[in-house]
Amino acid sequence: MDVLYSSTRSKSAPVKASEAILKGLAEDGGLFVPDHIPALDKSLEELSQMDYRQVAYEVMKLFLTDFTEEELKDCIHKAYDSKFDTELIAPLAEAEGAYYLELFHGATIAFKDMALSILPHLMITSARKNHIENEIVILTATSGDTGKAALAGFADVKGTRIIVFYPKNGVSPIQEKQMVTQKGANTLVVGIHGNFDDAQTGVKKIFSDKELAKELEGKGFQFSSANSINIGRLVPQICYYVYAYAALLKEGKIRAGEKINVAVPTGNFGNILAAFYAKNMGLPIGRLICASNENKVLYDFFSTGTYDRNREFVLTSSPSMDILISSNLERLIYRIAGNDADKNRELMNALTREGKYAVTEEMKEALADFYGAYADEEETFGEIRRLYDACGYVIDTHTAVASAVYQKYVKATGDQTKTIIASTASPFKFTRSVMNAIDAKYDAMGDFELVDELSRLANVPVPPAIEEIRTAPVVHDRQCEADSMKDVVKEFLA
């Protein structure tokens, strides 16, 4: 049965998967959602005998139903190749009774590689399928990781250009160096004076500017998105939860059908939404543990049923989660509203107008699978140190937020269900924060001295992604105000 995609904000005609991938965002500003979530059609035992690429095909074929088997397998094999430093693609590390799903073995050492390695191939295939001759302009805002992963995926891909906006003072030094040293004649990186929400809002405004779209179409361009609002980002993320369950089953850590919990550090809500979709495909997931940092807008939402972004924006050591507008939450709101686009649009308009909205009691009851909690900076650093002291395993700040929240969950509920913790970035991406958490004495070292010391402590080689930026020249030094983003885009495409 084909899966079609509709907007969360209107009853407009549904589109095929390839069309939704190309558009990125619906014309009415809504997000594309599947008309139904398909069930897994392979048994858990069968999946446990497959490698990552095979599992990815079995999941993606169910959502991307207008892709042929040949097209989809070609995209998968081009994506999950030697760019990853392990044949497993997403290995599991057992530490202190939990299973850390390492999603950082790709080209840019963050979980965004898992989806952004395949998105360019899905997009180019989609363009070919839909006879698109325009040059596709990827426009994206990043809180640190999406930017580099998207740049790496789209650099010098024929028929595309990519523009990345990031908060100038809101990412780690390593994250910034990775982006501003990116090569590729079709790439542009711009630091904005503002936070991630400013960048994300600016990108959404450009997407909804119909006059600009018409002007650029006349010049042979059309916009698309590499942010997690693109369904071509979300579907590949579902795959690694299915693969992780299958890997635990293969290793004899769980029995077929045994429920597991999943703990995910999240700001934009896409990564945990993927786990929710996997659960609704039939994967035996019990609780979805939503971990926030001090920008705890999601924790407050799950606690009260009210989403309220009217609060101070906090810069933390886990910058990819420094977000007050969780775009992907809209897909969940639409679902718990009974797939009612009018109700969802009413709530999203309230968020734009007043900065908040409240769901009904009935909708709140539909969130029972989720558990929300948060970890402050002290707890985050404490968890890095605790885990290192206990077993020598080193995690980054984002993973530490999830790990600390998982500890809180177990303490609060007594639930001893086996748990996968999404480990979303390599500790090498946030070296200073990680090393300071282990011992404050390291703060006197330079950034790359810290890299070498971390390698020694963790007994892990320095990733190629870090080695290559040690001496790489800065290619992008553009900055702008948030309200000038449109002008920057027009200038780049002139």
Catalytically active residues are: 112
CA distance 494 to 486: 12
CA 308 centroid distance within chain: 22
Residue 354 CA: distances (Å) to CA of 18, 96, 297, 308, 350: 35, 44, 15, 9, 5
Identify whether the C-beta of residue 239 lies closer than 8 Å to the C-beta of residue 55.
yes
Nearest of 121, 118, 123 to residue 139 by alpha carbon: 123
Nearest of 229, 211, 414 to residue 327 by alpha carbon: 229
Where do runs of H (alpha helix) occur along 309-445? 329-336, 341-354, 361-365, 377-391, 397-413, 431-438
Q: Which residues contact 440 (CB under 8 A, 6 or more apart)?
A: none
Measured in Å, how far apart are the chain's first and last C-alpha atoms? 44
What does the radius of gyration of the chain's CA atoms come to, in whole angstroms? 21
CA distance 492 to 494: 6
User: HEC states along 238-253?
Assistant: HHHHHHHHHHHHHCCC
CA distance 400 to 426: 11
- DSSP characters for 47-96? HHTS-HHHHHHHHHHHH-TTS-HHHHHHHHHHHSSTTSSSTTSS-EEEET
- Token code pair at residue 61: 């074929």
Identify whether the C-beta of residue 58 lies closer than 8 Å to the C-beta of residue 42.
yes
Residue 438 CA: distances (Å) to CA of 205, 265, 391, 450: 42, 20, 13, 12
CA distance 328 to 200: 12
CB count within 10 Å of CB 48 equals 20
